[in-house]
Structure 1
């Protein structure tokens, strides 16, 4: 074993040891959620594994893994649902698992999501620990696990994979590993359209670093050793790598559809998806107040949006690092201001984990016994909601 390998291995072991409480707590919460889902599904004569791997978007991903792109469904109203709307990294990994093992494509999606969810939990811990300390890191992971739509983290969907890539890219930015950050941003851009949020975080952080260095160099009396040699070059390379994933897929779709660089937007329009600044969502909420029963749902939606805005404001006031603010802001804006199916918005917000850091700081300030009881109670509620949700309307 080389000296470099001997140095790296203990460092990774130490990092895993520090993250172990968060990962074990996360695994326990997700195991509870899957157990409740299995019991709930059995009572309704449904198969929990099918709900996790072979419904809604999971079917589109496995079809891409098996047959590639080109499949579409034409609806009676004229809409065209094309599988070109789905980014390729998850189906690529599903195919890889199926080719190297006896598992099916759907099984591959489940395995990828389980492993990716653990990687995402570790990445969230790494980011939160770096910024606020180990205890906040553990609390941030547990809060992400007990989100009401946390069951999606165990589905053959791309949210867990994307969150893992995004979290580790942000951690790489925070620790100055620019090429790693750019590479992970590239992969995030091959996973979901919201990969643009990771690209934006890398670019804003990179530009801010260049501006700071330029200002420091011009300051009177500037001197000293300066940056290690090659840092600006690595940063620039990381910034160049970051947008290549999302750009490559969008341009490929445009070429395949024959509609140029904006062809992907036409594909999304076939799904009634687009970015309208939140007009459609605002109209959807307003329509809830046309009758008394639905008005309660409207109030709930307003409270939910208000909570998101409040959390982001708190993040700004607490001076979260700029990459986290940019990333969380773009993810939230794209989720709330898109004209997509409104029931999917909680799922689309799942990767916005920096919004949980103010709550994690508050939770970390409680006595351990009290915080454990609180998280345990919320975990039970989340598991129950997950079982109810997937056996009902479920995530679109």
Structure 2
């Protein structure tokens, strides 16, 4: 008999731990000597409880250098948002925030003026045209949503050239032509037809007189053991689209494992057909991206998280440093740089260097 699932709320147990844990000099001495998670596990309490106590005592997190605050450093607090001050003083944002609160200095509000108003006043120069990217770099679309909202739909971003290329390749691979082809094992043309297609073997079979092996047109390709060949024409139309696997599953009526398997096989096959990687680079199905651009508000570099959908200012992003949200178009105009999309998650990655 399967045991019933407990309905106990884990957050309530964490709350009780926070209320009832009594800090002692011995347990407080552990703070900052290891990660909060490690100390929490050792004490049998919640990680948040450890982090809060450490912050209350002004103890830096594990691995962070201690700061000796001077009058000159204190004078910088509150003159700008904590992110900018931290960059100037070469300390962490948390250290600036803790010291500022300790001295009762109010924070600087970063959203005093809308970015659209700043753009209208500054009138930045138009962005230069996009430079030609390497043909093997994946052409991600920054405005393409990674999740479908209820009742919504994904735009059609099919690369017709890739679809046409694969349709021609599939027609050749599944051809019933009885003309013998070169041997996939030794590449000899000393081959002959040994068997026509029939119910149990739907593809013509051939024989190589040089290496004494039998084969068909799929031998030696990643499609050799591929099932549901009748679904491939519909599937290849999705390969170039920046869609999650779940959406492909919904459209084709198959499970996640099948989509992942087919995607990897086709990416490997594209590298066989064109080792330069130009066609494989067009496959975007299932790949999730992250955006990199300078924050137009606080100037923080690095990754920005996607937030919500798109509008006339482009896909919206959020800066983790100052919590400013902004459209891609606004950020690109103010920083005079284009957003860069890098792969965050690639469930069917293939090694283009060794394949």
Which TM-score applies when normalising by structure 2? 0.25
Of structures 1 and 2, the larger Rg is shown by 2
The answer to which structure has the higher strand fraction is 2
- Greater RCO structure (CA 8 Å; 6+ sep): 1
- TM norm structure 1: 0.23
Higher helix share: 1
